[in-house]
Each structure stands twice: as structure tokens, then as C-alpha cells.
Chains A and B, each alone.
Chain A
Amino acid sequence: MAFLSTKIKVNHAPAIASPDEGARKRPAWELSERSRFVVRKLLGIVTLLFLWWVGSVILPEDILPGPIAVAEAFAANVRSGVLMTHFLDTMRRIVFGFLLALSGGVVFGTAMGLSKKIEDFIDTWVMVALTIPSLCFLIVIYILMGLNELSTVLAIAVSGFPAITINVWQGVKNVDNKLLAMARVFNVGRPKRFLRVVIPQIMPYILAASRYGLGIVWKITVVAELLGRNTGIGFQLHYWFQLFNMPQVFAWTLFFTLVMLLIELLIFKQIESHVFHWRPATKF
């Protein structure tokens, strides 16, 4: 008898195989991989809601309101139109602040990655800016420029800028010189080398920087509104906090969180799958 015997069947690599070749017959009672994934996700969400409900039963309503009280507060906000007005104000600040931070970060990060001289000159600035708490930027800019929309957007942008710059900078430094040498040998000019060889390589970093930057930006936006604006979700949180109205505080927080999650899922995931379709999946 053989000590070790194997019978292995290997399916062809996806590039060669026809789409239905790899699929196996599945019994009728078995859920597809996709629906099992959905079930697991839903189970996670339902459990979270259940734990919240249990907590709200144990604790008094003015400390931890239950899902129903929060939903009622939310519905009232929708009906009165308050929700939309304040939400749009907040979103406008986030979008402008973020775009400003992103464009600044990409320009400075790229310049630092490509030129040693610029890097030596600016990297201290970026490091210092990264260390300063966003709240300090906010206060200083409010004092310098007054409590207005421009100063708010600027403070938001300044808060997001250093983290984005550093990510892009690292991305440009990690660009594969061997690929650039290849392009040079084949007489590919400088602009095309930048667009077709450098940019695709830093795209993952720009995307990661954007996600990270957006996380910083939307958090500081709420604080900026709390400190110096009389509209927006931050203002609403502050207002209801002063009245100790917990269902309203929860309603605004949850709504905002859901919107940001949707942005992550609908926008970033889409961009990612579109930009990185060439990348093989990580197998750990």
C-alpha cells in the first residue's frame, strides 16, 4: 500500500477557463455563497440592535433611549424638514473641506515624493501639522478669521490635509523605479511616464488617503459646527445636548453615521473596484 497517494484535479486559471467551467452543482436547499454572506451581515446588524434594545430596557430613557424613541425623534425631524436643511449644510462643509484637503494633499504629497529638495523643505511642516490637534487649528482659524463659512471650511481642510499629504508622499516614494526605467528605455516621455506609470501606482495611496482624510474631516466638521456655527448636524447635537434630549442626540448621530457608511460603501467601494480591477485578490 502506498504511503501517500493523492488524486488532485486542478481547474484552469480564470483567465483561460470559460465562466461556467468552475461552478459546481449545488443542492436546492443550500444557499448560494452570496445569500449566506447577506444572512451573516443581517445577523450582525440585528444582534447589535437587540443589544441596544436590551440596554435601553435596563437603563432609564434619558440616559439610553431605545430604538423606538430614537426612530420617533428622527421621524419628527424628517417631517419638519429640519433634518434636510442641517444635513445639507454639514455635507456642503464636508465636501468643500475634503476636496480642498485632498487636492492640497495630492499636490504637496506628489511634489515631496518626486523632489528631494521640496521634501527636505516641507516635511517638517507636514509633521508638525500632523501632530497639532485638529481642534487647535479650528480655534486658531476661528480667532483669526471669525466665525463664518469660509473659516469653517478652511479649518476642516487644514485638519484633513496633513494625513492625506503623508499618505500620498509615501505612495510616490514607493513607486517602482524599475517600471520607470523600462518606460524610459522605450522612449516614453516624461508626461506619459507620470500619467501612465506613476499615477496608477499611487492611486491605492490616494484612495487610502481619501478614506482616512474623510474620516478626519467629517469628525472635525461636527466639532466646527458645535463651536462656531448655528446650522448643521454638529449644531443640532450641541443644541439637544444642552436640553439633555437623548433621543434627539441619538437620532442625529445615527443618521450621520449611516450617511457616512453609505458614502464609504457606495462611493469608495465603487471607485476601488473600478480602479483596481487588475489587482489579484489577497489570499492569506
Chain B
Amino acid sequence: MSLEVTENEFVCILGPSGCGKSTVLNILSGLEPASSGEVTIHRPHRANQPTIGYIFQEPRLLPWLRAEDNIKFVVDQLQLPQKDANFRIGQSLESVGLLKFARAYPHELSGGMQQRVAIARALAVDPHILLMDEPFSSLDEITARGMRKLLLDLWEQQKKTIVFVTHNMFEAAYLSDRILLMTRHPGTIYKSITTGLPRPREYEDPKIFAVSTNIARDFLREIGYESETETDRDS
């Protein structure tokens, strides 16, 4: 499989569970080696090493560090002057609306707030690329909605390149410029859809709903209903 993402583009990789979406992100981030092939990041505008911000399905905060220290933990890698580092930490917490909770431990925060700290952490390193692996799928729908809105607002302000993995079609349609549809067996991208929806987007916009419905129809045509039952019958 191959994919290209242009600078400041918001791309969603959409597919059923087990198709290798997360593996793609892990390879992009260097967490897992690719069996073959390569990842190239072009950086015409910035001189230093490319940085990656990663937001996982779970917050993955270090439970023994306060919210601000969790962010400091990764910001320290950039070796900024103390003042700039502190400014970034404050700013990133501010951007997710958690400045008041800078000194709280993760267990004192709700699931949604923890995930916001994780978003702040990823933004604080000012990454060239932001990778997100189903970051809202373990949150309740109301919280998830708020978070999607927050993410779009932040993206409008900071214009990052985002690769966002999800199995939620509506989420993909609402968030992204382009949606890559993935199948399993084999795990490839079989289609790329440019949504062309105007921004800023409203959650209730029927056009978003239409896009998501089309994707669903497309998927069912491509991969059918669960193929595993047919395999069972054969064996």
C-alpha cells in the first residue's frame, strides 16, 4: 500500500477493525518497522529533525506525574530554554481548556479530560505531523463530539498535517479533507475520497451525513457483510 499526505492536510484512514490501520500509524511513527518499503517526510520549511505528535486511543499519561509534568516529560526532549518550555506547556494546556488543572494527577481527571491532556501533550512538541489512533473511540458520544469540535478548532488555528485513524464514518466525514478507505485481507487502501465539504463545519450538517452514508454504502459494496461467516461455512 502507498499513501501520500500533503502539508497541513487532514487525512482520515477509515476501515474495519483488524485491517491494519493502527499498524500504518505505527510504521509512520517509527514504532514498528515496515516489512518492506519506506516512509519519507519532506520538510522544505523547517530545518531541524521532524517531530511527531501521537495521540493514542487511551490517554497514556504517566500516572505519577501531574498534567503539566506529563507534558514537560515530552517537551524536555526538544531542549528548549526553560522559559520557552514552560510557555509551551501552559499554552498547550490552555488550548485544550485545562490550564486550571495543570497540577492535577491523571486519576483526578475524567476520561475526556485525560484525553485532552494527551492532545495538549502532542501539540506541545509543535509536531510536523500529528498521528491520531482512534483517539475518541473510548469516550462517550457527547464528550467525543466536544473533542472533535475542539480538534477542528485547534487544527484551524495551528494548521498541522494530521493522519487520523478511525472506524467511525461520520467522524471521518466531519473531520477530514480526504478519507482513505482500507480493507482487510489484504490490508490495502482501495479508495481515496476527497470530501470537498466547506469549513468551518457544523455537526448537524446533512451534507456530512450524506458523505458518511455514501462511504458506508461503498464499504458494503466492496467488502460485503462480515466475510468470516462464509469462511466458516467453507471449512
A interface residues, Cβ below 8 angstroms from B = 13-16, 178-179, 181-189, 196-197, 200, 278-280
Q: Specify which chain A residues have a CB less than 8 angstroms from the CB of B104 in the assembled complex.
A: 15
Q: Per-residue CB proximity of B67-80 to A under 8 Å, as 1/0? A: 00000011001000
Residue count of chain B within 8 Å CB distance of chain A: 26
Using a Cβ cutoff of 8 Å, how many contacts connect chains A and B?
56
Residues on B with C-beta less than 8 A from A178 are 56, 58, 60
Instruction: Give the residues in chain B near A15, CB-CB below 8 Å.
Output: 101, 104-105, 108-109
Q: List 29 A-B contacts (CB under 8 A).
A: A15-B104, A15-B105, A15-B109, A178-B56, A178-B58, A179-B60, A179-B62, A182-B54, A184-B30, A185-B29, A185-B30, A185-B52, A185-B54, A186-B54, A186-B73, A187-B74, A187-B77, A188-B73, A188-B74, A196-B73, A200-B62, A200-B64, A278-B63, A278-B64, A278-B65, A278-B105, A278-B107, A279-B107, A280-B107
Complex Cα distance, B229 from A258, in Å, reads: 68
List residues of chain A with CB within 8 A of the CB of B100: 16
A188 lies within 8 A of B77 (CB): yes
Given contacts A185-B31, A186-B74, contact A13 B52 (CB under 8 A): no
Asked if B77 contacts A182 (CB within 8 A), the reply is no
Q: How far is the CA of A254 from the CA of B73 in the complex (A)?
A: 49
Residues of A within 8 A of B30 (CB): 184-185
In the bound complex, residues from chain A placing their C-beta under 8 Å from that of B58 are 178
Contacts of B65 in A (CB 8 A): 278
| Residue contact B56 to A182, C-beta cutoff 8 Å | yes
B125 and A186 contacting across the interface, CB-CB below 8 Å: yes
CA–CA, A189 and B74, complex, Å: 11
Please give the distance in Å from B119's CB to the nearest CB on chain A: 13
Enumerate B104-157 residues with CB–CB distance to A below 8 Å.
104-105, 107-109, 121, 125
Q: Does B194 contact A (CB under 8 A)?
A: no
Q: B31 contacts A196, CB within 8 Å?
A: no
Report the bound CA distance from A185 to B51 in whole Å. Answer: 9
B193-205 near A? 1/0 per residue, CB < 8 Å: 0000000000000
CB of A72, distance to nearest CB on chain B (Å): 50
Question: How many angstroms from the CA of A105 to the CA of B173 in the assembled complex?
Answer: 55
**Given the complex of chains A and B, what is the CA–CA distance between A168 and B63 in angstroms?**
20
Which B residues, 17 to 57, have Cβ-Cβ distances below 8 Å to chain A? 29-31, 51-54, 56
In the bound complex, do residue B31 and residue A181 qualify as a contact, i.e. CB atoms below 8 Å apart? Answer: yes
B200 to chain A, nearest CB (A): 30
CB nearest neighbor in B for A278: B64
- B129 CB to closest chain A CB (Å) equals 11
| Minimum C-beta distance from A193 to chain B (A) | 10
Cα A148 to Cα B35 in complex, Å, equals: 61
Give 7 new A-B contacts, CB below 8 A, not counting A15-B105, A188-B74, A278-B64: A178-B60, A182-B60, A184-B30, A186-B125, A187-B74, A187-B77, A278-B105
Q: Which residue of A lies closest to B70 (CB)?
A: A182
Out of A16, A181, A196, which one reaches B62, CB within 8 Å?
A: A196
Residues of A within 8 A of B73 (CB): 183, 186, 188, 196
Q: Which residue of A lies closest to B29 (CB)?
A: A185
Instruction: Annotate B179-209 by CB proximity to A: 1 below 8 A, 0 otherwise.
Output: 0000000000000000000000000000000
In the bound complex, CA of A197 to CA of B74 (Å): 12
> Please, how many angstroms separate the alpha-carbon atoms of A237 and B107 in the complex?
50
A281 to chain B, nearest CB (A): 10
Max count, chain B CB within 10 A of own CB: residue among A182, A183, A278: A182
Q: Which of A181, A186, A189, A197 has the most C-beta atoms of chain B within 10 angstroms of its own C-beta?
A: A186
Chain B hits for A187, CB < 8 A: 51, 74, 77
Alpha-carbon separation in the docked complex, A187 to B121 (Å)? 13
Which residues of chain A come closer than 8 Å to B56, judged between CB atoms?
Answer: 178, 182
CB of A204 to closest CB in B, whole Å: 11
Expressed in whole angstroms, the Cα–Cα distance for A181 and B104 within the complex equals: 23
Q: Which of B30, B58, B77 has the most CB of A within 10 A?
A: B77
CA distance A186 to B129 in the complex (A): 12
In the assembled complex, the Cα of A183 lies from the Cα of B60 at a distance in Å of 10
